[in-house]
Each structure stands twice: as structure tokens, then as C-alpha cells.
Structure 1
Amino acid sequence: MRILCIGDVVGKNGCEFLRKKLPSLKKIKSIDLTICNGENASDGNGITPTSADHIFTSGADIITLGNHTFRRKEFYSYLDEKPYIIRPANFPNSTTPGVGYCKYDMGRVTVGVVNVMGNSFMDNILDCPFRTMDKVLEELDDCKIKIVDFHAEATGEKRAMGYYLDGKVTAVFGTHTHVQTADEEILPNGTGYITDVGMTGPINSVLGVKPEIIISKLRNKLPERFDYADGDCKMDCVIFDIDDKTAVTKDIERIELR
């Protein structure tokens, strides 16, 4: 089985570039399942029902989210209505819409997909992601293949989660920093891992935002409205090649499409 995981889609330009590149990539690489992080898919930050629908109709099977999940109130009911869009599992279930994992039945095998968020250097301090994963994995006991999107800032926290889940899940891919890392590997017990899969959006930007805005914010220490950059885009992603019988990762291919 070949599972494609796509880095954070940023704004309208990122959504349009995803639609341009994803269908042909799935065909060329014989992709069985596509997971896409969409928490920044709407211009002005966050995600809306319209941008989520765009990602699904472009070819994604499952959308994962992150710290901007609840930026748009019009998105709250969508989270409860759609089973294959998931927010970080360590948001409190009693007060926040949606769920943190889903089960995707592919006939020959059921794939469990988890979204969880780190705490280091993040605005939202949530329940411990490690203890959250312990609880979620109990719920996914009937899923042979398990894929985790760890939405986190700190490289050390991501690496620690990779080793914590090694042998417990099939693959762990990081999101949130929007910069693709060159450390894809298969951990000692067979779990595929990459610290951050990257971003889908404008190349000449600071994490998708116009550079001059970020420079002004950092120099002047004043709030700035984040407007997404224009121009040529890229799509960062990774393919996990998985043994259906053992549920371990056999190979990883890191890709940047321009």
C-alpha cells in the first residue's frame, strides 16, 4: 500500500496548486490513500467549509488540521458532519467540535489516521500528546495500519514522538513548520518517519506569508495582518510504501513538486 501525505496547504494559491498537481501524482505513483494537512487552506488563516471541500475534490481522502483549526466559527459544524476531517486529538472533547482520529475502510485493510498536536512553543497548550496517543491507539486496535500527523513546532518533540510510537504505528509525519526536512527514515522497529513534510503554497514567502510582513513584525514588535504571498508555488509531500501484511513501512519517498 502506498500512502501519500501532503504538507500544510496555504491559502487559495496553495489550494489551486494542489488541484493542479495532486491527480497526476496519485496516478503516476499509484497512490492508495491521500492525507493532506489543511489547517491554513483559507486566505486569512484557518480553514473554511469551502476550502476543505476544495481539498477533498482535488483528491485528498483525509484532511488533518492543527493549531488554527478553530479560527473560523463557520467551520465548527463541518467538523462534526464530516468523518474524514480530523482535528488534533488532544483538544478537549467536551468543549471542541470534531474528533482526533478516523478509520478509513479500504476493503482489504482498515487504516487508522490520527491528528495530534505538540505543546512545545505552541500557542495552544493541550493535553499531553504522548498520553493522548496512548488513549487513541486503544481506540484504533482494530486498524492494522496507523498513520499519525504530529502537528508540532519543536524538532525535539517530534523526534521524541517518532521514537515513542516506533513499532506501535506504521508512520509518523510532522506538520506545522512548513519547511520540509531531509530526515525521512525507517525507525528501528519499522515505523516510517519524517520531522516535517513541508508546505503546499507560494515559494517566495515566509511560511506562505509575504516576507515583508513577517520582517516588519519581527523588527517592530507590533501585530501584523498575515497576507499570503503570490507567485509560483510548490507542493511538499512524502510517500510511505507499506507492507500490507506486516503494517511496517518498507520505503519512504520525499517529494517537492514545483
Structure 2
Amino acid sequence: MRILVVGDIFGRPGRQIFHDLLPGLIHQHRVDFVIANGENASGGRGITSKNADEILQSPVNVLTTGNHIWEHDSIKPYFETHPILRPHNVDSALPGKGWGVFTSSSGCRVCVVSLQGCVFMDDKGMKAMNPFQSMDTLLKEISPISDIIIVDFHAEATSEKRALAWHLDGRVSALLGTHTHVQTADEEILPNGTAYISDIGMTGPHASVIGLAKEVAILKFLTGEKKKFKVAEEGLALNAVLCEFSIQTGKALSIERVRATN
């Protein structure tokens, strides 16, 4: 089972390159199932229903998100009708779900979990509950009904990501970090079969400061002045990881980084 997981789609440039490159990547890598993080798809902050419709026209199976998902009210009804996940470990009274089991074309039951970190995330969106405890509880429910379990861990701190990966090693098929927008070079398969990377990276404008126009970010660092948030436009690239799993065991067989440009 070959699964492509695409890093944070950032703004209009990210949506465009995702649309342009995804079909070719699916064909090139013989991909069976596609997950993408839509956290920053609309102006770099959250995702609107209109942009969700646009992204879901591409051959993607499910969208994960993160702390910015609450920026646009129009997306909330979509949680009930579209394959879009909000973070699992937030107040259960909030709309939507943080996980789902999706059946691939071959009949494989792929459980996707959208999870949010706590370290250095206090000022970023809805407060998240302990991701370690949340996953321990959730696994009791999802393990019996899943062949493969993929966790998109949307978190700031590498230490929190690595600690959770070790905690879940052998109990999930992959724990893949998102949120920092910089693809890391630490992909590996842990001893008990869980694929891991600290951050998949960003799909969008890389001639930027993690998606933000360079001049806006530099001015803030130089003077403290905050200018209007502006999405960069240049240096477009799609960042992803390609993972292969055994359907029989749910364990990872391989993980490799993907970086694609026009």
C-alpha cells in the first residue's frame, strides 16, 4: 500500500502547484491513497469552503488540518459532509471529527488522524489536549477497524513529535509531522515499524519566510512592525513523503521524501 502525504498547502500558490503536480506524482510513484494538509490553503491561514472544493477536485482522499482550521466559519459544515479532519485532541463539543477510516480502491482500511501538539502552541488556535493521552484512548477504538493508521501531528516542537513517535511505535503505521513548513531530513522507520519524519514541509512558495512574503517577515524582525499578512508568490514546490506499508501487518516498509517543482 503506497500512500502519499502532502505537506501544508499554503495559499493560492500552494493550491495551484498541488493541482498541477499531484496527478503526475500519483502516476510516477504508483500511489494508492493521498492525504494532504489543508491548514494554510486560504491566504495562508485556515481553509474556506470554496478552497476546500477546489482542492478536493484533485485526486486527494482526505484533508488534515491544524491550529488555523477555525479561521473561516464556512468550512465548519464541511466537516460533516466532506473528507476534512480538524485536530482530534480539541474540545469534543467543537464541530467535526479528528479521525476517519477511509477505504482505498483496493479495499484497505486507512485510518487518518489529525492531531495537534501542545508545546509552544498555546497562542495558536483552539487549546489542544494532551496528544499522548488522546492517542492512547483513541487507539482502543480505531485499531480494531483499521489496516493502516496514519497520524498527521501538527506541532511546533521536534522534541514533542519525536517523543510521540517513540510512544506510538508499533501501534500506528506512521507519525508524520506538519506545521513548521520546512521539510526535515530525518525520515526513518522506528524499530517496531512506525514511519516517522519531523516535518513533511510546505506545498507553496519557498522563496519566502515559511510562506510569508520576505519583505513583510524581515520588516517585523528588524523593527517589530507588523504589516498586513502577505502570501509569497515565487519558488513554488510541493513537499510530501511517500510511504509504503504492509496491509497484513500495518507496518511501514519504506518512507522517502518528495520535493517536486514545475
> What TM-score, normalized by structure 2, do the two folds share?
0.95
Residue number in structure 1 paired with 2:117: 118
2:136 maps to amino acid: D
**CA displacement, residues 128-162 of structure 1 (integer Å, 9 cap, x when unaligned):** 01111112212212102100000000010011111
How far does residue 224 in structure 1 lie from its aligned partner after superposition? 3.0
How far does residue 44 in structure 1 lie from its aligned partner after superposition? 5.2
2:71 maps to amino acid: R
Residue number in structure 2 paired with 1:156: 159
CA distance in 2, matches of 1:59, 1:200: 16
Residue number in structure 2 paired with 1:61: 61
How far does residue 24 in structure 1 lie from its aligned partner after superposition? 0.7
Alignment check: 8 A CA contact 2:208 2:234 kept: no
- Where do 5+ consecutive residues of structure 2 fail to align? none
Residue number in structure 2 paired with 1:213: 216
Match status 1:165 vs 2:165: no
How far does residue 93 in structure 1 lie from its aligned partner after superposition? 1.1
Q: Which moved more, 1:133-142 or 1:17-26?
A: 133-142
CA distance in 2, matches of 1:240, 1:38: 19
Match status 1:233 vs 2:233: no
Evaluate the alpha carbon distance shift between residue 228 and residue 143 of structure 1 in structure 2; reply closer, same or farther with a 3 A threshold: same
CA distance in 2, matches of 1:232, 1:217: 22
Match status 1:103 vs 2:86: no
CA distance in 2, matches of 1:68, 1:147: 21
CA distance in 1, matches of 2:44, 2:244: 35
Residue number in structure 2 paired with 1:93: 92
Alignment check: 8 A CA contact 2:109 2:146 kept: yes
How far does residue 222 in structure 1 lie from its aligned partner after superposition? 3.6
Residue number in structure 1 paired with 2:198: 195
How many residues matched? 256
CA distance in 2, matches of 1:15, 1:108: 29
1:138 maps to amino acid: K
**CA displacement, residues 40-84 of structure 1 (integer Å, 9 cap, x when unaligned):** 0012521011111222112211100001000011111122322x2
How far does residue 108 in structure 1 lie from its aligned partner after superposition? 3.0
CA distance in 2, matches of 1:186, 1:6: 18
Q: Which moved more, 1:6-15 or 1:211-220?
A: 211-220
Identity of aligned pairs, percent? 43
Residue number in structure 2 paired with 1:134: 136
CA distance in 1, matches of 2:229, 2:46: 12
SS of alignment partner, residue 24 of structure 1: helix
Evaluate the alpha carbon distance shift between residue 203 and residue 44 of structure 1 in structure 2; reply closer, same or farther with a 3 A threshold: closer
Moved over 6 A (4+): none
